[in-house]
Structure 1
Amino acid sequence: MDKFKFEKLNIWQKAMDFGEVIDRLALKFPEREKFNLASQICRASDSIALNISEGSIGQSNPEQRKFMGYSIRSLAEVVTCLFKAKRRKYIDEVKFVELYNEAFHLMNMMSAFKKNIK
């Protein structure tokens, strides 16, 4: 399709994939977390791609940088939720490290993209 500019962005595609991984992970959290940590981590992970797309549509460069900043903040929120999930024993160390590294890679990509917005 690629009718919208953001669809071509590698960071948007990676953010979309990361959001789906996080969504599947949250489904495994205990029922008592359904409206707490599971909801929070899903909303934060969805917000990453949502802000990338919102910032890419007809915005000025300062606006685009602002929305990239929101995306990076949402990613930091996801990472904090991952730490919470690990502490509560909802995920093991191996899964935590895998997702932490994926988040770190995505953050570096988004930071570089933000820096290159003229």
Structure 2
Amino acid sequence: MNDDVDLQRLAEAEYDIQRFAAGEVELAPVEDPDEAAHAMAQLPPADAPHVVIRPLRMPFEVDATIRELAAQRGISISAMYRDLITSGLAATTEAAPDPIAELRSIQAAAQRALDRLAGERRRDAA
């Protein structure tokens, strides 16, 4: 699912909620077992994380850099934003750090150490 589809679904859901709150629509039980099963299959698992969508304005250059980083890592732009924000929060708060961000940091440090050792071996061999 891409970000545009997510935003469209969010807008539709918000519109439906407003109509329900205004009394324009009523909830009715689903009586067809197949329809009920289909509706239940569309719901996220009970233990799924809750997320919110936030519009975000930033300089074009920053966006271009984030898009490039996401492409290099093979992840979506949204996932890249989440990783950067989570890492930034962990660096500025006393909250428990995100384990994925920590693993990426450890992986990068290990790669730097490996590169350094490989360079030393080439120098020693020469």
TM-score bin, normalised by smaller chain: under 0.3
TM-score, reference length from structure 1: 0.25
Higher-Rg member (1/2): 2
Higher relative contact order (Cα pairs below 8 Å, separated by 6+ residues): 1
**More helix, by proportion:** 1
